[in-house]
Structure formats: structure tokens, C-alpha cells
């Protein structure tokens, strides 16, 4: 495969992943605000469907990239951290938007979910399960897929 194609494929998945990250966060922020101020919005059909589609594409693009750079959850620490934190984000998100008994409980879960979300972003940017100690991370050079020209960041 010519290097240019390999590079484009990976970057396409990365752009898709990033687009889903931004959309997923925006929708979660909005749904939290609706939960507190106008819960009837949460029952709209598109509000019940679109976030699941976005999150599925987010995970799909993540898996595609992970296999292209041959780094996998439960093998590479930073991807294990991302996956486990994603599960926590999902649980907190469901308490925030559905299972929480009181508005206060839901609001606390909504804020905690956002903290977890930003932890995941920090793990992605440092490629370290401990983003505050990035020395633990994987250097960008090591995760460049075949055919991709590593760039210093």
C-alpha cells in the first residue's frame, strides 16, 4: 500500500474519532442541561438515538486506529485506561441522565462524567494512563502506523 494511502486512512479515522469526541461531549453537555431545566427534551426521538450512533462511531474509529497502530486495550496501558474510563463515563452518564434518583444526584454524576471525559482526553494527548506524569506514555513515533511519517509534537 503506498504510504500516502496508509497515512490518509489513519488520519481519516482520527478526524472521525475527534469529530465524534466533540459531538459526543456537546450532546452530553446539552442533555445534562435539559435534564435539569427542560427534561421533556430528553424524550425527543433524535435525542434518544443520535448519541448512541455517535458513540458507536467513536468506539469503532478507536478500534480501527488501535488495530492500525497495533496497540490494544489490556496490552497498552494508555488504551486500557481509555477503555476503562470510557466504561466509567458511560455508567456516570446513565446515572446523570436516567438512573439518578434526585436532581442533585444526577447533577453530581453529570459533573463527574465530565471530569472522566477530560481525563480520557488527557490520556489521549499524553498517551499515558497518568497524564500528569507523561513520562509513562508511549512516544508518538512508536505509535505511527506503517507508512505514516512521524512528526515531532
Q: Which residues bind ligand HEM (CB under 6 A)?
A: 14, 17-18, 21, 59, 62, 65-66, 69, 73, 79, 82-83, 86, 89, 117, 120-121, 124-125, 143
The least distance separating ligand HEM from the CB of residue 102, rounded to whole angstroms, comes to 26
Contacts (Cβ under 8 Å, ≥6 apart) of 119: 85, 131
Of 47, 15, 29, which Cα lies nearest the Cα of 113?
Answer: 29
Return d(Cα 99, Cα 6) in angstroms, integer.
Answer: 43
The least distance separating ligand HEM from the CB of residue 134, rounded to whole angstroms, comes to 12
The least distance separating ligand HEM from the CB of residue 74, rounded to whole angstroms, comes to 10
Residue 125 or 146 having the CB closest to ligand HEM: 125
Amino acid at each position: 500500500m503506498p504510504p500516502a494511502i496508509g497515512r490518509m486512512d489513519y488520519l481519516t479515522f482520527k478526524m472521525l474519532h475527534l469529530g465524534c469526541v466533540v459531538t459526543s461531549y456537546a450532546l452530553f453537555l446539552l442533555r445534562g442541561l435539559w435534564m435539569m431545566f427542560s427534561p421533556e427534551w430528553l424524550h425527543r426521538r433524535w435525542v434518544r438515538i443520535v448519541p448512541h450512533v455517535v458513540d458507536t462511531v467513536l468506539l469503532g474509529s478507536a478500534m480501527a486506529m488501535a488495530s492500525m497502530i497495533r496497540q490494544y486495550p489490556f496490552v497498552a496501558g494508555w488504551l486500557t485506561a481509555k477503555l476503562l474510563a470510557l466504561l466509567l463515563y458511560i455508567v456516570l452518564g446513565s446515572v446523570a441522565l436516567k438512573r439518578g434518583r434526585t436532581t442533585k444526584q444526577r447533577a453530581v454524576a453529570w459533573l463527574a462524567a465530565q471530569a472522566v471525559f477530560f481525563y480520557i482526553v488527557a490520556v489521549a494527548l499524553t498517551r499515558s494512563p497518568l497524564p500528569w506524569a507523561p513520562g509513562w506514555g508511549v512516544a508518538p513515533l512508536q505509535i505511527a502506523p506503517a507508512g505514516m511519517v512521524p512528526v515531532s509534537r
